Amino acid sequence: MATVASEHDTETVALARADARAQGGRAADAMPYLPASSTPYPPQGVDKEKLTWAETVAGGNYTHLVVAKGTRIRLTDVTGEACAHVLLYNALEPWERLNVADTVKIPWQAYLTTKHPLLSGDGRVLATIVNDDSQQHDAFCGTSTAAANQAKYGDSAPQGPSPSGRELFTLAAAKHGLTRRDLPPSVSFFKGVRVQEDGSVEFTGSAGPGKAVDLLAELPLIVLIANVPHPADPRPAYTCGPLRVHAWRSTPTTAQDSRHDASPEAHRAYLNTAAYLTARGL
């Protein structure tokens, strides 16, 4: 355990500098690992030296990164209490972004799992779910809001004990020149819902600890992630566990992949994506 600095450790500029530099080797339960190959939790079967992103995101926190086309992003629910709310943007033209309505409408499937494309409003595939052992996800409810968190938990501030997903997304978006107006509805991984016959939404919770979902970037992407409780979670306490993020270089979907022609609609969306990239020499 790290010792607490005394008041004399920072009484001069030189001592303050020494004290600050002494913190460089400290580690926390939730932090980015730099370089990514230094992660203490490397994905099984992946060469650590090929990792481009490695981070543990605490409950009530967020992360963001720009990733290259063909990047494979693995999200892991460490304790069964994470809820990864995700937004995706075309990094080349960020006004093209995740469209949840099209993501459930075009594939004729509202429940996200393996082979499901995450679509933009321009009919292109931003990313594809290429592996999923959780199957507890949600494309209906979006993330939590300030008003809802204040009503339920008594606070919603990003620096407070119960930040809302919307406010954390606002902070993450600002890192990429985006504003609150640029935040569409998000998808949520590791906490599921099911729509009942009367139209109500039933919260189905988590599939348990250690579950993972892999997203394959079909375009260069801005990825925003807020790890906060699902808005339909009925528990009165603000409950959210750590989320692990690892990413590495892979290859985007090609015409030889079965998901490319999983349906006529998917076929068209992947063709739209390929045409967009070809026109830009990518």
Quick one: average pLDDT of 65-73? Answer: 98
Average pLDDT, the chain: 94
Mean pLDDT of 217-226: 98
Q: Where are the domains of the chain?
A: 51-279
- Range name among 2-6, 111-115, 151-155, 160-164 with the lowest pLDDT average: 2-6
Q: Residue 240 above 60 pLDDT? A: yes
Q: What is the pLDDT of residue 84?
A: 98
For the entire predicted model, the pTM comes to 0.93
The whole-angstrom separation of Cα 36 and Cα 34 is: 5
User: What integer is the mean pLDDT of 221-228?
Assistant: 98
In the chain, the percentage of residues whose pLDDT exceeds 70 is 97
How do residues 7-51 score in pLDDT, each as one tens digit? Answer: 457 788 888 788 777 777 777 888 999 999 999 999 999 999 999
The answer to whether residue 169 scores a pLDDT higher than 70 is yes
Per-residue model confidence (pLDDT) at position 8: 52
**pLDDT for res 120:** 98
Give pLDDT, residue 1.
41
pLDDT of residue 192: 96
Q: Are strands 61-67 and 201-205 parallel, antiparallel or unpaired?
A: unpaired
Query: pLDDT at residue 230 above 70?
Result: yes
Q: What is the pLDDT of residue 4?
A: 45
Position 96 pLDDT exceeds 50: yes
Averaged pLDDT for residues 148-177? 97
Q: Cβ distance 128 to 219 under 8 Å?
A: no
- Is the pLDDT assigned to residue 2 strictly greater than 80? no
Q: Output the six-digit token pair for 246.
A: 């690892």
Q: Give me the percent of the chain exceeding a pLDDT of 90.
A: 89
Rounded Cα distance between 187 and 203, Å, is 15
Where residue 5 falls among pLDDT bands split at 50, 70, 90? Answer: very low
